[in-house]
Structure 1
Amino acid sequence: MNASQSPPVLVLGGGPVGQTTALLLARWAVPVVLLDQRPRRDPVGSKAICQQRDVLDVWNAVGAGRRIADEGVTWTTARTFYRDRELFGYSFQERGSPAFPPFVNLSQARTEEILDERIAAEPLIDVRWDHRVTGIEQDGAGVRLRCDTPEGTATVEGCWAVACAGARGDAVRRMLGVEFAGRSFDDRFLICDIRTDLPDWAEERRFYFDPAWNPGRQVLIHPCPDSTFRIDWQVPAGYDLDAEEACGALDERIRAIIGERPYEIVWKSVYRFHSRLVDRMRAGRVLLAGDCAHLVSPFGARGLNSGVQDAENAAWKIAFVVHGWAGERLLDSYHDERHAAAVENLEVTGTTMRFLVPGDEQERQRRTAILERAAHDRTAWAEVDSGRLSEPYWYARSPLTTPSAARPPACRPERGRTPRPGPGVLVPDAPVSVPGRGTTRFRELARDGVLLLACGGVDQTEVRAAATGIAAPVRCLDLAAIDRAGALGEALSAGPGELWVIRPDAHVAAVLTHPDRTAVLCALRKLLAASPAQPMRSGAERPASTS
C-alpha cells in the first residue's frame, strides 16, 4: 500500500513540536491527523523565543525556516555581566557556510502562525481542534484514541502516534504508563515583553549576575522584533506580580533597566523551572516528544530547540517504517538517541541552575568567588555559567552509528564553537551544485534520504552496488562534482578515500575509508537498524516531497 493511502500517523498536540512533526511526516508523504485539546490557537506571549540555527534548517525543509529567520531578530553575540561590569562576550562560529544565523528571536506565537500556514497548504495533514484525548489503546496493528469533542466522544485511529502534548501532558503520560521523574525549582522568574527604544541592545543577548537593580539574583535580556525586549528577572519564591504592579514597584523594576524612556508591557507572566524526564520515549506505537517527554530550564534555549530535534528524529524513522524501508526496530533507536539527548540537556541546564540558584551557602560563596575572579582573570570565564546555549546532540554512541578510529568522538568545544565533523555529528552546511537540481544547500540535499558522499579514491561502483541491497532511498554523490568551490570539503575536513554515510536528518552515520561493498552495506544496515542477516527489498523510491 502506498504510504499516502495507509492509516495516518496521529500527532497529539498542536504546539511547535507537534506542528513540526506533522509537517515533516507529510514531507515524507505520510498522512497525519493532528489533534489538539484547545478550541483554537492562543497567540499570546513570547514564550519560547530563541530559535537555533540548526532548528531553522529543519523548518526550512518544510518551507518555514527562511520566513521565521527573516521575521525574527538575529543576534550573534552573548554578553555576560557581573554587577555593573562586563565579564566577557562571545560570538558564534560555524564550519562551512551556514544558511542561517546562530540564533533568531521570534515569539512562539508568531512561529506557530507561520507553521500553521504551512500546515494549511498541506493536504496530507488533517487538523482537529477541540479533541481532548481520554483514552489510548494500541495493538500490533495500530493506535486508537478516544477523544472528547464538542459533538461527543470520537475514536481516531492511526498506525503510529507521536505525543507532543506539552508540559501539561500528564494525562497522556499516565495513559501511556510512563514515569516523569525530576524536580521543580522554588525560585520564580518574572517575564515581561516590553516595547521600547533600546537600539544599542537590539542584536545581542545580555545576562546579568547580581545587578544593582536585582541584587543577589539574575536578569536575562533578549531582543525581539518590533522594538520589543524580553526581560527575565529571577524573583523570590513568594513573589506576587499583582501586588508589585499595583504598588508601582513593577514600573520601578523596569525603569531601573531602561531608564525614563517610554515603554509598553506587551505580555507578562511568572513561572518556575522544572527538570523532568520520562523513563522511556517509546511506549509501544507511541513516541513521546518535546515537553511531553522532558522539561529543562530555559537558560540555554534547550526546550523548544530540542523538541524540534525530537520531531525530526521521530518523523524520518516513522516514515521509513511506514514506507517499508526499515523494520520497527528502527523506532527503538528513537528512545536511545533522544533520551540520551534529554539526559545531556538536563545535565547542562541542571549545572546552570545550580550556578544561578545555589543550593546552600557554600555553593553561593563559590559562585561569588568565581564571578569576582572572572572580573580580572579570563581563565575563570569558563567557570561562569549563564547557560550553555542550545546545540545539536551528537549521536556518536547511537546504535545506528558506525564508529571511526580516524574520527573518534571529541569533547564538547568551547562555547560558541562547533565540533570537528565525524560519526554522530550534524554535518556542516555549504552551497553545493547538483545536476538536475542546480545550486542548493548541502543539508537540504542530505534531508532527502540516505546520502553517500564519496571523496576522491573511493570505488563508487562498489558503493552503488552495496546501495542496491537497501530498500530506503539512497543516493551516491561525488564530493568534487558537487563542491566545486571546496567549501564543503574544507568544512568536513574530508580526506582522500573517505565515504561519508549521512542520515536523513543530516547527521553523519559513518565515515568509511576505502570501503568495500561489505563495509558499505554493513554501515547502511546499521543505520536502518537491520540485522546483518535480515533481507531488505530493493528498488524502492522516495515519494515526492509535498513541500
Structure 2
Amino acid sequence: MTVAVLGSGPVGQTAALLLARRGVPVVLVDEHERRDPVGSKAICHQRDTLDVWASLGAGCLAEEGLTWTTARTFHRDRELFSYRLPGAGSALPPFVNLSQARVEEVLDELIARQPLIDVRRGHRVTGLTQPGCVEVRCETRDGPRRIEADYAIACTGARGDAVRRGVGEQLAGVSFDDLFLICDIRADLAGWAAERRFYFDPPWNPGRQVLIHPCPGSRFRIDWQVPEDYDLAAEETGGALDRRIRAIIGDRPYEVAWRSVYRFHTRLVRRMRAGRVLLAGDCAHLVAPFGARGLNSGVADAENAAWKLACVLRGEAGDGLLDSYHAERHAAAVENAEVTTATMDFLVPQDDKQRRHRAEVLARAAHDPAAHPEVDSGRLAEPFWYTGSPLTTPDPDRPFAGRPPRGTLPPPGPGILLPDVTVAGRRLREQARQGFLLLTTPGVVAPAGVRSAEIPVGGALGARPGEAWLVRPDAYVAAVLRNPPELAPALQRALSLRK
C-alpha cells in the first residue's frame, strides 16, 4: 500500500514524513532536480505548524526562527499604535519568521533518513488517472515515467494545473490587480529586529502599503504594494529600487539578497477529495499572505490527510473517512479566504464604500484606541476548529461560540485543538499524535486495550469529574464522554464508521 505525494515543498514534505511515521510507504515526486536555496518565500510559521514539525524531529526550526515581540502600525507619516505580543503560554513560540528554504533543508534531512520515503526528483507531473488506483504520468530528462499508488496527496502548488485537470478541478476565484514587490535585504537596523512594521499610505509609497518583517541573520523582508504595470527590471536599472529601499532604511549599507514580484489571489477548488486524490496546500487554495494563512493551512491539510490515509490503509477505517478530509479542510480554506478577503478589502478597497470605511477607521485610530482593532493589516494564522465536522461528537454543555477575538482561542472542547499543555512531565499533544488517545479524569477507568492518560480535573482543559476526552491523532478533541459506553460510538464516529 503506497501513497504518492506530488510536490515536495513544505506541505508535501510534511505529508510524506507524517505518512512514513505511521508506517505508510511514500513515493515523493517533485519536478525540480534540486532545491533553490535563494529567497525567503513563505516566512511566518505558526505555533501549531512548528508543533507538527517538532513531532517529526524538526524542533530546531522553532529554535532557529525569529519571533518579533512588537507590532507597529503607521498611517502616512505618523505611528497610529503599537502592541506587544502576549507570552507564549506554551513550549513553543506563537510563531517564528524563518525562510522557507531553511524549512525545506531541515525537512529534506529528515526525509533522507526515512527508508519508507522514495524521493523522485526531476519528475514533472503531466497528468493522472484513477483506474482502480492512482496512475501519475511524469516527464523526466530520460523520458516519460508512470508511477502507480493506492492514493495520492497533491501538493503541487498554484501551478499544479495538470493534477487539477486530472481530477476535474480548477482554482476558481479572483486575482487582485495590484502587484506586490518583495525584497530580502541584509542590513544593520538597530532596534528593528524584534518588531514588525506596517505602513498605510506612507509618503514614500503613496496610496499603497508597505510591510516589514525581521528575519534571522540581520535580514529583513520588505513588501511593497505596487501598481499593476510595475517594472522591477526598469527600477533596478534606473536606480529607483535603491531609492525605494533607502526611503525606508536611510543612508546605510545594505545588500539585496532576493527580490520578486507577486500577484495575490483568493481561489479555491470545489472538492479537496477527488476519488483517490486529496488536494492540499496551494494546489487546493490560494489566499493573500497577510496573516500567513497559506503554508500554515497547507501543513494542517497534510496532517489531516496523513492520519486519515494511514487509518484507511491499515484497515482501521473505511474509504469514507477520506470524505471528512474535504469536509474539514475545505471549510478551513473557506474561512481563510473570508479572513484574508476582509484584509485585502481594507488594504486595497474595491469601491467607494470600502474606501470611505478605510479612511474613517485610519483617521479615528490616530486618537481613539477603540478603533485600533478595526485597522486590518492581517489576522495571524490560527487553527481551524472542527466543531461542525461529521467526525466530532457535540457536547451540549460546551457549545461553540464562533470565531473568537483576534489573538485568542476558544475554550477546549469537541472539535478544538488540544491545548499545548504538559501533564505528568509529558506534552499531551505528543501523546495524542501517536494515535487515538483517551484522557481520563481521576477515578475514571479506560476500557481495556484503549491507550489512555490521566488528566487533572479543571486545569487547562477545564475537565470535569467523571469525564473522559477522546483525542484524534492530529490532537483535536473528538468527544467529551461521561460514561464508558459512550466511547465506542464516539470512536466509530471519529473514524467515520458511524453517522
Tell me, yes or no, if the aligned pair for 2:213 and 2:220 is still in contact at 8 Å.
yes
Percent same amino acid among aligned pairs? 66
Write the deviation string for residues 271-314 of structure 1: whole angstroms up to 9, x where unpaired: 11011000100010000000000000000000000000000000
Offset, 1:91: 4.0
SS at match of 1:19: helix
Residue of structure 1 in register with 2:372 after alignment:
381
Tell me, yes or no, if the aligned pair for 1:464 and 1:476 is still in contact at 8 Å.
no
Are 2:482 and 1:507 equivalent residues in the alignment? no
Counterpart mapping for 1:39-438 below 5 A:
39-64=33-58, 66-93=59-86, 97-140=89-132, 142-433=133-424
Write the deviation string for residues 511-546 of structure 1: whole angstroms up to 9, x where unpaired: 22x2241x11111111010027xxxxxxxxxxxxxx
Matches of 1:167 and 1:523, distance apart in 2: 37
SS at match of 2:459: helix
Matches of 1:81 and 1:106, distance apart in 2: 24
Residue of structure 1 in register with 2:489 after alignment:
522
Matches of 1:408 and 1:80, distance apart in 2: 35
Are 2:443 and 1:475 equivalent residues in the alignment? no
Tell me, yes or no, if the aligned pair for 1:75 and 1:102 is still in contact at 8 Å.
no
Tell me, yes or no, if the aligned pair for 2:161 and 2:170 is still in contact at 8 Å.
no
Offset, 1:169: 0.5
SS at match of 2:191: helix
Tell me, yes or no, if the aligned pair for 1:76 and 1:101 is still in contact at 8 Å.
no
Matches of 1:405 and 1:212, distance apart in 2: 54
SS at match of 1:351: helix
Q: What amino acid does structure 2 have at the position aligned with 1:295?
A: L
SS at match of 1:491: coil
Q: What amino acid does structure 1 have at the position aligned with 2:465?
A: P
Matches of 1:200 and 1:246, distance apart in 2: 31
Are 2:436 and 1:450 equivalent residues in the alignment? yes
Matches of 1:84 and 1:493, distance apart in 2: 47
Offset, 1:75: 2.1
- TM-score, scaled relative to structure 2: 0.97
How has the CA–CA distance of structure 1 residues 490 and 93 changed in structure 2, closer, same or farther, with 3 Å as cutoff?
farther
Matches of 1:162 and 1:398, distance apart in 2: 21
SS at match of 1:497: coil
Write the deviation string for residues 302-346 of structure 1: whole angstroms up to 9, x where unpaired: 000000000000000000111111111110000000000000000
Offset, 1:81: 2.0
SS at match of 1:325: coil
SS at match of 1:490: coil
- TM-score, scaled relative to structure 1: 0.89
Are 2:5 and 1:19 equivalent residues in the alignment? no
How has the CA–CA distance of structure 1 residues 263 and 307 changed in structure 2, closer, same or farther, with 3 Å as cutoff?
same
SS at match of 1:153: strand
| Greater shift in the superposed pair: 334-343 or 190-199 | 190-199
SS at match of 2:447: helix
SS at match of 1:80: strand
Write the deviation string for residues 399-443 of structure 1: whole angstroms up to 9, x where unpaired: 00011111111232222222211111111112233xxxxx33221
Tell me, yes or no, if the aligned pair for 2:281 and 2:297 is still in contact at 8 Å.
yes
Q: What amino acid does structure 2 have at the position aligned with 1:341?
A: A
Matches of 1:156 and 1:29, distance apart in 2: 20
Offset, 1:256: 1.1
| Greater shift in the superposed pair: 208-217 or 261-270 | 208-217
Matches of 1:525 and 1:8, distance apart in 2: 25
SS at match of 1:423: coil
Corresponding residue pairs, total: 499
Matches of 2:384 and 2:195, distance apart in 1: 25
Offset, 1:384: 1.1
Tell me, yes or no, if the aligned pair for 1:90 and 1:416 is still in contact at 8 Å.
no
Matches of 1:152 and 1:358, distance apart in 2: 49
Matches of 1:321 and 1:72, distance apart in 2: 36
Tell me, yes or no, if the aligned pair for 2:489 and 2:498 is still in contact at 8 Å.
no
Tell me, yes or no, if the aligned pair for 1:204 and 1:223 is still in contact at 8 Å.
yes
Matches of 2:416 and 2:9, distance apart in 1: 27
Matches of 2:429 and 2:355, distance apart in 1: 44
Are 2:458 and 1:464 equivalent residues in the alignment? no
How has the CA–CA distance of structure 1 residues 210 and 124 changed in structure 2, closer, same or farther, with 3 Å as cutoff?
same
Write the deviation string for residues 341-370 of structure 1: whole angstroms up to 9, x where unpaired: 000000000110010000123321220111
Matches of 1:99 and 1:326, distance apart in 2: 33
Provide structure 2 residue ranges, at least 5 long, that are not aligned to the other structure.
Answer: none
Q: What amino acid does structure 1 have at the position aligned with 2:396?
A: A
Offset, 1:92: 4.2
Q: What amino acid does structure 2 have at the position aligned with 1:121?
A: R
Residue of structure 2 in register with 1:543 after alignment:
none
Tell me, yes or no, if the aligned pair for 2:175 and 2:263 is still in contact at 8 Å.
yes
Matches of 2:354 and 2:152, distance apart in 1: 44
Q: What amino acid does structure 1 have at the position aligned with 2:309?
A: I
Could you list the runs of 4 or more consecutive aligned residues of structure 1 that deviate by over 6 angstroms after TM superposition? none
Write the deviation string for residues 213-244 of structure 1: whole angstroms up to 9, x where unpaired: 21211111100111000000111111111111
Matches of 1:511 and 1:178, distance apart in 2: 37
How has the CA–CA distance of structure 1 residues 94 and 479 changed in structure 2, closer, same or farther, with 3 Å as cutoff?
farther
Offset, 1:166: 0.5
SS at match of 1:199: coil
Offset, 1:382: 2.1
Matches of 1:85 and 1:72, distance apart in 2: 30
